[in-house]
Structure formats: C-alpha cells, structure tokens
Structure 1
C-alpha cells in the first residue's frame, strides 16, 4: 500500500462504507491495495453496524486500515460524512464495498482528475461481474421532462434513451465526456469542494445523495463532473439491500427528496405528483398484462409494484413541504 509521506497528508482518502457485505468488502480491499500503486492514499472503512462479522474480518485481515466499527447504521450518506470527517487526504474517493478495482483504476482516475481539474468531480466506468456494462456509473439530473417520460412510459418505450430518461442510453460509455451525476459507488472529489458543500445532505439515508451533491456542486460552484472509461471497476450492485421492493422504496423516497430540493416553483408539485404516480401506473399495467397473458413475470412485476404502491406512505412525503435552503448544512459531516 502506498501511504502518505511523513511530510504531509496523502493525495487520496478512500472511503468504504460496509453493511453486511463481509466477503465483498474483503475482496474490494484486496483489489484497492493490489491495484493502487502510484497514488499516496489512506483507506478508511466505516462499518454501519453489520451483523455478519464484517468489522472483525476487516480488522483481522487489514490491521493497517483505519476502521470505524459503528454501533449505529448511519446510512450511506451519514457513513461517508463520518469517514471523510476523519480523513486526511487532499482528495476523497467514495468506493462501494461491492466493487473490485481493475487495472490501476484508482491511479487512472486520479490522473484523469489532474488532467481535467475544472470538472471538480470525476467518475469511471463500471461493469458487472460477467464483464457486461453496468450503466449505473453516471446519469443525468432529474428534470420535469424525464420525470414525465418515466411516469407515462415514454422512457421505457425508448429503451431509456438519454432524450427521454435520466439514463445515458444510446452511449456506450466508451468515451470521455461531461456528465450530470457521478454515482457514489466510484466518485472522486477534492476535499476542499466536499467541505464547501458540507458533504452529503443528511436528508438522504441511502440513494439520491450523490445526485444532490453533484447538482449542488454544479449550481453553486460551477463544477462540471466528468467521466472517463479508462478507470474501470466491477460493481455488482445492490449487495447490501437485496430485497427488490425494499430497495425500490428507499430509491423512491430519495428521488422524491431530490425533486423537493431541486425543482423550483410550479415544477415541484407537478414533479412530485408525476413521480408519485409511477408505481400505481406500473402496478395497473402489469396486472392487466398478467390477466391477459397469464405470464408469471408479469405477475411477479405486478406484485412488486403493488407492494411499492401500498407502502407509499414510507416514500411519499406530505404535500406542500418547502424545499430546504441549499447552504452548507450544520452537522452535514457528522453523520445522519
């Protein structure tokens, strides 16, 4: 492991939040250490009260890594805020525990950041374990148009083309380009900018926090997040929250919060209403298809969307809540 020199802080602090992902976390750490040779760095693992022995396994296998074995689940946002607050690096890399670093990806992402300092936030390419492209590494900011397209089914009918959805459909993620949002599974940011933003907004427990961060960075400080395909990692995805409906409930809550925070004027109530309708329309459509075709996949889909809709009180906030002020939030770096 390349560490900081005695004269100063490391170039990079790598923050990993673990929650019941013991074996994946260990594999991730092995890949970070084995593939990061040109960048002085420290590794900080924040374990969010795992019950699978993750913290003990990390401590035993990697005694030189800084480990915070928490007795509370701070969520992704709060865990990262805690880890960054205790870090020393001039840059911060947020890295999911269900990832594997390939072919010097962290060194390559740092080199990309040095070559494009105006970006302010940087991300790389993600693939699944079988080598196929994982498109979750970056996406477009939410807008009333793409929320409308998702609610009406236009996004699905277009194959999630970038003109109709948040996804960058139609692009092979094989070229350098500016993007709106870099996902938090592999996100590089200068520590100075992180501090100016107050870190992640603690309103977000899991999902949505990187969208809010990138949008605030762009709107307030002129950041222009950039993507490079040269820095590539495996990202398995969803390892800490495998139940489909539970994950969707968290995701919908996060998306509703993004709309509340970033849509202005009349767009906010319209956007909330459209997004709130998505599970209902999916449930009704899939139920009808299941009745006509009797196919099990439509029945399964209808059951999931029906559960999401019946649990709407968990993810749909009361009407008329004002959007919070987007200043530095007190306590934002101290956990959720």
Structure 2
C-alpha cells in the first residue's frame, strides 16, 4: 500500500529524542505513512538503535555529516508518499499533527507547502514555524539593535523584528512567506520540481531558500494552526551557543550570496556584521560573558557563508 505521507527526519546524535518523537507521531496519527530517517554520521549507534525501534522504517546511515538540507534530500529519494513531512527529532506532537496538516492540504492543495505552530514546552508559540523572507529592512533593524528591542517589547515586534512575523495571527490559517524545516509538509512533486534543498547550505536558511524558490513556481506556504509541535530547539546545534549563532549567520550569508545581487548582498553582510559588532561591543563594555563576542571574532568565517559543496 502506497503511503499518503512520508515522514522524513534527520538525526545527529539525537537518538533518544528521535525515537521519542517518532513514537509519539505514530501513536497520534491514523494516516497511512512511512518513516525515513537519515543519520548524519552520529557515530554513537544512533542509526542502529532507531532501526531496531522501528523495523518498518527506512534508516540511512551516512558516512559523513552533510548537514540538514542535503540529508533531507537523501531521505526524500527513499520516499514514496504523495506528501513529505519534514520534522525535527527535538519535537513532540500536540495531538494528530500529521492528520491536521494532511486534512488542510487535501482541502487546499494549491498551497503546496504547509506548517503548523511550534511551541515552547509551556505551550506558548515560539514564533519560529513561519518567518519572513530576508529584506534590507530586517538587516537594518538587526544592525541597530532594534530587533532585540522588538523581541522584548511585544507591541514593537511587528515594526522592529519583522523576520519572526510577531504580528501574525497564528490562531487561523493564513499564507506566510516561508516556513521552517522543523515542521514542513510539502507535496513530493513540488519538492522534486525544486530539486530539493539547495546543497550550498549545511544548516539554516535552506528552508527559507526553498520557500523563496517555491513562490516562483506558484506555491504559497500556509500556516495551519490546528497542527502543533512542542519544540525543544537546538538539540543538534548547540542551543544558543556561539556555534549555533555562527551557523545561523552562515546560512543567512549563503542566502545573500545565492539570491541577492552582489551589491545588495554586500550591504546585507555589512549590516549583519554591524549588528554582531554592536552586541559584542556592548558586552565588552559591560564586561559580560556574551556569545556575541566570540561570534564577532569569527566574523571572517561566517561572512563567507557555507562553502559550496
């Protein structure tokens, strides 16, 4: 029997989380599905443990860690479902997230790409399941430190922190510019037409890139509020460590290199550097141990973006 949806997951040293997330998804949904898990060279027995826990699943153990998007592309090659559901291992479904997404997608197939709400452990929305496409306005706000203020002062969020779309009503279905790869349902034929994730990215911004290219093919990503996951966040990339911030910035700079004109991309990178320098400088003046200080010292590496594969 051909599954309706192929659940795709990439694991890197997140064995216990992956098994828990997949078990919860299986228990919560009645939809015909298959599971495809790609292990990014964890080297800790993760692939074997996941395969033992889910004998019917396809588990591919890669010899090297190739990052999120490239590993998802590997997983998609094993998928046979009409729909691909991308989900992170550090998540927990709230109800039947698979069924909720499939029900909306079946009724509104024209969107092509769907997400739900990703929640903090306390149940509040973490504002990370959907986001804006990059703009100079976003980067000016970051360079001046205003995005941090917009994150802390709720009513200023829509003006000063546009990247996270804090003014969006997440209680009703609505079109969004881009969705996170943490929770993404996409038609398999659309994923194939896009060539999957652009392989230039190791981690971060590959989902924004995919959505930007999907818009060009007529897709319109949409938020489905009935579908929700609790999201721990950063389990495979170091939480809010300097390493994770550098990876986020590398992803952003890769997007600028690939999707913006050279002059506009150079301005975008300069604004990102200014924002990091501002935060590092303030931390140094206050003698605070801030992750922005080592990120600033590493700016030459992340400003170059991810190296081409």
TM-score tier after normalising by the smaller chain length? over 0.9
Q: 1:140 aligns with which of 132, 135, 156?
A: 132
- Contact 2:145 2:278 (C-alpha < 8 Å) held by counterparts: no
| Residue correspondence of structure 1 range 31-180 to structure 2 within 5 A | 31-37=24-30, 39-159=31-151, 161-164=157-160, 165-171=162-168, 173-180=170-177
Q: 1:21 aligns with which of 14, 24, 30?
A: 14
TM-score by length of 1: 0.85
Unaligned stretches of 5+ residues in structure 1 = 292-298, 325-335
Count of paired positions: 302
Deviation at 1:300, TM superposition (A): 2.2
SS in 2 for 1:119: coil
- Contact 2:120 2:230 (C-alpha < 8 Å) held by counterparts: yes
SS in 2 for 1:215: helix
| Residue correspondence of structure 1 range 248-259 to structure 2 within 5 A | 248-259=245-256
Tell me how large the CA RMSD over aligned residues is: 1.8
Mapped partners of 2:104, 2:127: distance in 1: 20
Mapped partners of 2:132, 2:140: distance in 1: 14
| Residue correspondence of structure 1 range 305-320 to structure 2 within 5 A | 305-317=292-304
* Cross-structure match for 1:282: 279
Unaligned stretches of 5+ residues in structure 2 = none
* Cross-structure match for 1:189: 186
Q: Please identify, of 163-172 and 274-283, the stretch whose mean Cα deviation from structure 2 is larger.
A: 163-172
* Cross-structure match for 2:242: 245
- Contact 1:31 1:102 (C-alpha < 8 Å) held by counterparts: no
Mapped partners of 1:191, 1:170: distance in 2: 31
